[in-house]
Structure 1
Amino acid sequence: MMTATDVVLRPKKIRKVAWACAVGLVVVFTVVGLLLGNTPTGVIFRTSDQVAMIVLGFLLAGGVLLLTRPRVRADAIGIEIRNVVTSHRFAWGDVLAISFPDGAAWARLELPEDEYISIMAVQAVDRDYAVTSVRALRELHKAGR
């Protein structure tokens, strides 16, 4: 159950870029797959080769769309970070800080014993959105401790 103080964050620019790339990959591989046929070099592409080319385009597009997966959900109790492949849930008491080191691509959750988890949903390329997001997470962290 979400409340008014819950925060859900997703990257902005990478989602647009990933979708555009995925559509582009599908279009290019479909066109190439459909245009494959007999060539002047004597190579003969069969229907299965054409289908494989199109399927490869969809597989590559799916891989690119994994970049749209990062998300952060935070509330008064804790924070859940979902990156491209992994997900983690932490209570605020287990979190030392939320930082955004100079030159870093994304924010990170500082944990005890010099460990950290990258927060790929808060990316430097999103500029003002990233600043606002880190501030919101820090406020929840402060309130939750």
Structure 2
Amino acid sequence: MSEEPTPLPDLPVTFRPGRTRAILLTAGVAIFVVISGVAMLLDQLGPGERLSFIITGALIFWVLALLARVKVVADESGVTVVNIAGKRRLDWAEILQVNLRPGDPWVFLDLSDGTSLPALGIQPGVAKRRAIQDARTLRALTEARAAARPKQDQG
């Protein structure tokens, strides 16, 4: 009882690793610019070789942009989890528990089908305090929706 309840935000709310995202996108742009610049400055490269440099820079940027797109969006009807290679929409009733244990690389959602879904949009890597607060907020939202369900069923 010593822990104060986490205040619920207005929905929709988006959770994403902001600093990590900024670092990845900045690095992606810098790598693309440097590799493309090198391709243009090296006189001994032919057009095909220059193009291969630029394509390599673009591929590196694309991979970093995929890593930066992760997020968790909570709205009135449920949660959308966007991870590196996919996106999954969940109803509130499907989420049984929100977990972020010490040492976890990101939040895990325990689901009603018996599986666990990683939610990379909340990760303690660069901003640990923020990730812990985001996990608590998502947990509070999930618990509030679970508490509201029985009241709706009775009414």
TM range (shorter): 0.7 to 0.9
Which residue in 2 is equivalent to 1:4? 10
Where do residues 1-145 of structure 1 align in structure 2 (5 Å cutoff)?
A: 4-38=10-44, 45-112=45-112, 114-125=114-125, 126-145=127-146
1:76 touches 1:143 (CA, 8 Å); kept in 2?
A: no
Q: Note if contact 1:76-1:144 (Cα within 8 Å) is conserved in structure 2.
A: no
TM-score, normalisation: structure 2: 0.79
Give the paired residue count: 137
What do residues 22-43 of structure 1 show as CA deviations (whole Å, max 9, x unaligned)? 12211221122113333xxxxx
Q: How far apart, CA to CA, are the structure 2 residues paired with 1:109 and 1:133? A: 13
Q: Secondary structure at the match of 1:122?
A: coil
- Poorly superposed stretches of 4+, deviation over 6 Å: none
What is the RMSD of the two structures over their aligned residues, measured on CA atoms?
A: 1.8
Q: Which runs of 5+ in 2 are unaligned?
A: 1-8, 147-155
Q: Which runs of 5+ in 1 are unaligned?
A: 39-44
Identity percentage over the alignment?
A: 26
> What TM-score does the superposition give when structure 1 sets the normalisation length?
0.84
